[in-house]
Structure 1
Amino acid sequence: MTPHDQRSGHGRVPDAPDPLPIPVVDNHTHLDIARDGEDLPDVAAAIAAATAVGVDRIVQIGCDLPGARFTAEQVDLHPQMLGGVAIHPNEAPRLAAQGSLDAAYAEIEALASHPRIRVIGETGLDYFRTGPEGLASQQDSFRWHIDLAKRTGKALQIHDRDSHDDVLRILAEEGAPDRTVMHCFSGDLEMARECVERGYYLSFAGTVTFKNAAGLRDALAVTPLERVLVETDAPYLTPVPWRGATNAPYLVPLTVRVMAGVLGVAVPTLCEAISANSEAVYGPW
Structure 2
Amino acid sequence: AAGVTTMITVGCDATTTASAIDTASRYDGIYATAGLHPHEAKFGVDTIVEFLDDPHVIAIGECGLDYYYDHSPRSIQRDVFAAQIQLAHAHGLPLIVHTRDAWADTFDILAAEGMPERTVFHCFTGGPEEAQQCLDLGAYLSFSGIVSFKSATALHDAARLCPIDRLLAETDSPYLAPAPHRGRSNQPAYVTYVVQALAGLRDTTTDSVRDATSANARLAFPALGP
| Paired AA for residue 49 in structure 2 | E
Equivalence for 1:82: 31
Paired residues of 2:144 and 2:172 also in contact (CA < 8 A):
yes
| Alignment match of 1:181 (pick from 106, 120, 127) | 120
Paired residues of 2:123 and 2:143 also in contact (CA < 8 A):
yes
Gaps of 5+ in 2: none
List structure 1 runs of 4+ shifted beyond 4 angstroms.
none
| Alignment match of 2:13 (pick from 64, 76, 89) | 64
Aligned pairs for 1:37-56 (under 5 A) are 52-56=1-5
Q: Over residues 124-174 of structure 1, what are the superposed CA-to-partner deviations in whole Å (9 max), with x where a residue is unaligned?
A: 00001117x811000000000000011111110001111111111111111
| Alignment match of 1:118 (pick from 50, 58, 65) | 58
| SS of equivalent residue, structure 1 residue 265 | coil
Post-superposition shift, 1:265?
Answer: 1.8
| Paired AA for residue 5 in structure 2 | D
| SS of equivalent residue, structure 2 residue 37 | coil
Post-superposition shift, 1:264?
Answer: 2.0
Post-superposition shift, 1:106?
Answer: 3.3
Equivalence for 1:234: 173
Paired residues of 2:119 and 2:139 also in contact (CA < 8 A):
yes
Q: Distance in 1 between matches of 2:182 and 2:90?
A: 39
Q: Over residues 38-63 of structure 1, what are the superposed CA-to-partner deviations in whole Å (9 max), with x where a residue is unaligned?
A: xxxxxxxxxxxxxx211111000111
RCO higher in 1 or 2 (8 Å CA, sep ≥ 6)?
Answer: 1
| Alignment match of 1:147 (pick from 86, 91, 104) | 86
Aligned pairs for 1:124-139 (under 5 A) are 124-130=64-70, 134-139=73-78
Post-superposition shift, 1:268?
Answer: 1.2
Equivalence for 1:276: 215
Equivalence for 1:251: 190
Post-superposition shift, 1:277?
Answer: 0.5
Post-superposition shift, 1:116?
Answer: 2.1
Q: Distance in 2 between matches of 1:281 and 1:115?
A: 17
Q: Distance in 2 between matches of 1:115 and 1:260?
A: 34
Q: Over residues 252-282 of structure 1, what are the superposed CA-to-partner deviations in whole Å (9 max), with x where a residue is unaligned?
A: 1111001011122211111111111111111
| SS of equivalent residue, structure 2 residue 10 | strand
| SS of equivalent residue, structure 1 residue 120 | strand
Aligned length: 224
**TM-score, normalized by length of structure 2?**
0.96
| Paired AA for residue 80 in structure 1 | G
Does 2:103 match 1:164? yes
| SS of equivalent residue, structure 1 residue 53 | coil
Q: Distance in 2 between matches of 1:176 and 1:83?
A: 21
Q: Distance in 2 between matches of 1:201 and 1:116?
A: 22
Q: Distance in 1 between matches of 2:205 and 2:150?
A: 22
Q: Distance in 1 between matches of 2:100 and 2:219?
A: 26
Aligned pairs for 1:10-21 (under 5 A) are none
Q: Distance in 2 between matches of 1:185 and 1:116?
A: 25
